[in-house]
């Protein structure tokens, strides 16, 4: 890690120099950013800072803090950065490909990876053609175009009678959509070394957008862009543009997302990654017309009070349905299990078992699954299967499953088969 770009992981303490890599100036800059970040992203500790369960990038002045997942035990940031990038690519449908030689791109820092994806999407839009829109134009012409601005024509008098003051619509790429794209592109250009391949790509895009007006980063973030079918193809480009604007723009304020930069709650990101992969697996399953997956639905109360009002609402992560029958509740846990420390429990929290039992009893579901991210240490570990001992939950089965972020399609298919297997004969 360089002095101005620190690479750390979740739940890690970053010590001040000389004990650690954090300079006094950088420490002060990050402390100033903490009030603008989601709760728990950075926490002040004795002689340093501690990261939480969020990953991404935090820009503070000239310093960049890159927070990566804590999944692998390998040297270097490559595997953890790869896991994060795969999750972002799946959840936000951004053009980041990780097959073959492109995997070497992950040796770059996360900001460079995002800029690369932004430029790739920009080039794709350039091939399709920039979005154009009609804007009002006024000009003095020798032939009538559009409509005549009569009041302006009379005001200029006879001396300008040979010229007609026309008001007309012009189809142009100089519109708010492309101005936002340009604002992010300018910031990306500054961060790329002159002469590098990415800088050349950025310069080519800037040349193609030379006729587009410039906006300051805060102006670009405040710009309200209409949403309709004709501009839907710009969604990914504008999403990444907003990331770069919030991250790199000086003194940018973006309303409720002020100062977020590029920060992701890993619990939510992992849940969404698993859900998207499972939905894709369902689309290819022979029972796809009868299977469906719901996210954080249905919501039900755990108890009712004296007035018969539901209290302590329960929100399961994922529910798998066959027709109208709930056949499985799946709960994702962004936590690294350690079979080498405890072969039987591996760090599974007792509170999670209580939570799943409450789900099974309240929803009348007999198949429950805890899903954890896979890592190489779990290769030879036999995944445990539990049965609750209480009379109320004696017939409720709890399964522990892993989800391989490097092979999400296979992981989702296996997970789906585990949930359906053994139940089809009884239900069909």
Run means of pLDDT, 10 residues per run, the chain, 428 residues: 79 92 92 88 93 91 90 77 88 64 59 91 94 80 76 75 80 91 94 91 95 90 87 92 87 46 89 96 92 93 90 94 93 90 81 92 92 88 83 78 92 92 58
The answer on 270 and 233 residing in a single domain is: no
Q: Are 212 and 174 in contact (CB under 8 A)?
A: yes
Residue 92 CA to residue 259 CA, distance in Å, equals 20
For residue 234, how many other CB atoms are within 10 A of its CB? 21
Tokens of 18: 């000389």
Handedness of CA 187, 192, 196, 198 (dihedral sign): negative
The answer on 182 and 168 residing in a single domain is: no
Residue 195 CA to residue 311 CA, distance in Å, equals 61
SS3 of the chain: helix, strand, coil, percent, to 5? 40, 25, 35
The answer on 60 and 158 residing in a single domain is: no
Q: 211-216 long-range contacts, Cβ below 8 Å, gap at least 24?
A: 211/172, 211/173, 211/174, 212/173, 212/174, 212/175, 212/178, 212/179, 212/181, 212/182, 213/174, 213/179, 213/182, 214/179, 214/182, 214/183, 214/186, 215/179, 215/180, 215/182, 215/183, 216/183, 216/249
Quote the pLDDT of residue 392. Answer: 62
Domain harbouring 388, CATH code: 3.90.1570
The answer on 211 and 128 residing in a single domain is: yes
The answer on 300 and 375 residing in a single domain is: yes
For 179, residues 6+ apart whose C-beta sits below 8 A from its C-beta are: 212, 213, 214, 215, 220, 223
pTM across the whole model: 0.84
Side-chain-side CA neighbours of 30 within 13 Å: the count stands at 27
Quote the domain boundaries for residue 45: 1-69
Domain boundary among 30, 46, 69: 69
The answer on 379 and 233 residing in a single domain is: no
Beta strand 42-45 with 325-332 is unpaired
The answer on 185 and 103 residing in a single domain is: yes
The answer on 233 and 361 residing in a single domain is: no
Domain boundary among 257, 286, 313: 257
Residue 282 CA to residue 296 CA, distance in Å, equals 18
Number of folded domains in the chain?
Answer: 4
Beta strand 397-403 with 367-373 is parallel
The answer on 196 and 111 residing in a single domain is: yes
Residue 94 CA to residue 84 CA, distance in Å, equals 13
The answer on 53 and 114 residing in a single domain is: no
The answer on 353 and 326 residing in a single domain is: yes
Q: How many residues does this entry show for the chain?
A: 428
Residue 398 CA to residue 182 CA, distance in Å, equals 52
Residue 5 DSSP SS3? strand
Terminal C-alpha separation, the chain: 57
Specify whether the backbone of 159 is left (phi greater than 0), alpha (psi in -120 to 50) or beta.
alpha
H helices of 143-301, where?
150-156, 176-191, 197-208, 217-222, 235-248, 266-284
Report which DSSP code applies to 70. -
Tokens of 326: 């709930």
Domain boundary among 150, 172, 194: 172
The answer on 229 and 99 residing in a single domain is: yes
């Amino acid at each position: 890690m360089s002095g101005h770009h620190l690479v750390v992981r979740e739940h890690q303490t970053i010590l001040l120099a000389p004990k650690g890599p954090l300079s006094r100036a950088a420490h002060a800059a990050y402390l100033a950013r903490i009030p603008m970040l989601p709760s728990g992203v950075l926490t002040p500790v004795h002689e340093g800072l501690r990261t939480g369960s969020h990953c991404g990038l935090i820009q503070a002045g000239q310093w960049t803090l890159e927070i990566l997942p804590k999944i692998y035990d390998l040297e270097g940031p490559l595997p953890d950065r790869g896991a994060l990038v795969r999750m972002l690519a799946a959840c936000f449908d951004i053009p980041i490909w990780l097959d073959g030689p492109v995997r070497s791109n992950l040796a770059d820092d996360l900001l460079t990876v995002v800029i690369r994806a932004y430029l790739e999407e920009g080039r794709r839009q350039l091939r399709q053609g920039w979005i154009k829109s009609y804007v009002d134009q006024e000009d003095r012409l020798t032939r009538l175009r559009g409509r005549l601005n009569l009041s302006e024509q009379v005001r200029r008098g006879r001396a300008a009678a040979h010229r007609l003051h026309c008001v007309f619509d012009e189809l142009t790429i100089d519109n708010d959509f492309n101005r936002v794209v340009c604002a992010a592109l300018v910031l990306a250009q500054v961060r790329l070394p002159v002469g590098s391949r990415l800088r050349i790509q950025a310069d080519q895009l800037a040349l193609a957008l030379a006729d587009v007006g410039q906006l300051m980063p805060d102006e670009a973030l405040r710009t309200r862009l209409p949403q309709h079918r004709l501009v839907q193809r710009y969604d990914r480009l504008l999403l990444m543009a907003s990331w770069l604007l919030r991250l790199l723009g000086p003194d940018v304020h973006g309303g409720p997302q002020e100062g977020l930069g590029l920060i992701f709650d890993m619990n939510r990101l992992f849940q969404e990654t698993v859900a998207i992969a499972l939905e894709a697996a369902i689309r290819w399953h022979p029972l796809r017309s009868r299977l469906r997956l719901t996210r954080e639905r249905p919501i039900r109360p755990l108890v009712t009070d004296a007035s018969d009002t539901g209290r302590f609402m329960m929100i399961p992560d994922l529910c798998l349905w066959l027709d109208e029958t709930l056949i499985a509740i799946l709960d994702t846990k962004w936590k690294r299990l350690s079979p080498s420390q405890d072969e039987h429990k591996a760090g599974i929290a007792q509170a999670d078992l209580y939570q799943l039992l409450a789900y099974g009893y309240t929803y009348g579901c007999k198949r429950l699954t805890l899903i954890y991210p896979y890592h190489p240490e779990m290769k030879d570990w036999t995944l445990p299967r539990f049965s609750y001992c209480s009379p109320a939950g004696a017939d409720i089965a709890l399964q522990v499953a892993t989800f391989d972020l490097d092979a999400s399609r296979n992981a989702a298919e296996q997970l789906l088969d585990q949930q359906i297997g053994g139940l089809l004969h009884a239900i069909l």
